[in-house]
Amino acid sequence: MSRSPLSAPNLALGVVTLDVATAGIPPAWVKVAPRGPVTTRDGRAYQFDPEALAARFAADGIDIPVDLDHAIARKTLFGERADAVGWVKELQARADGLYARVEWLAAATAALAARTHRFISPTFKHDDKGTATWLHSIALVAAPALSMPALAAAIGGTAPAPRDPVMLAAAARDFQTSEAAAGRPICFADAVVALCGGSIDP
What is the band of 194 on the pLDDT scale with cuts at 50, 70, 90? low
What pLDDT sits at residue 197?
A: 52
Least confident interval from 112-121, 153-162, 172-181:
153-162
Which whole number is the average pLDDT over 97-123?
A: 85
**Residue 154: band (very low, low, confident or very high) from pLDDT cuts 50, 70, 90:** very low
Alpha-carbon distance of 73 to 139, in angstroms, equals 9
Distance, CA of 21 to CA of 113 (rounded, Å)? 9
More confident residue, 165 or 139: 139
Whole-angstrom distance, CA of residue 27 vs CA of residue 87: 13
Residue 86 has what pLDDT? 94
pLDDT at 65 over 50: yes
C-alpha torsion 66→112→181→158, nearest 10: 10
Confidence (pTM)? 0.65
Residue 138, strand partner residues:
66, 122
How many Å apart are CA 126 and CA 130, to the nearest integer? 5
> What is the reported pLDDT for 200?
46
Report which of residues 15 and 116 the model is more confident about.
Answer: 116
What is the SS3 string spanning 134-158? Answer: EEEEEEEECCCCCCCCCECCCCCCC
- Which of the pair, 80 or 87, is modelled with greater confidence? 87
165-181 vs 188-195: helix crossing angle, rounded to 10: 110
Compare 158 and 78 and report the one with higher pLDDT. Answer: 78
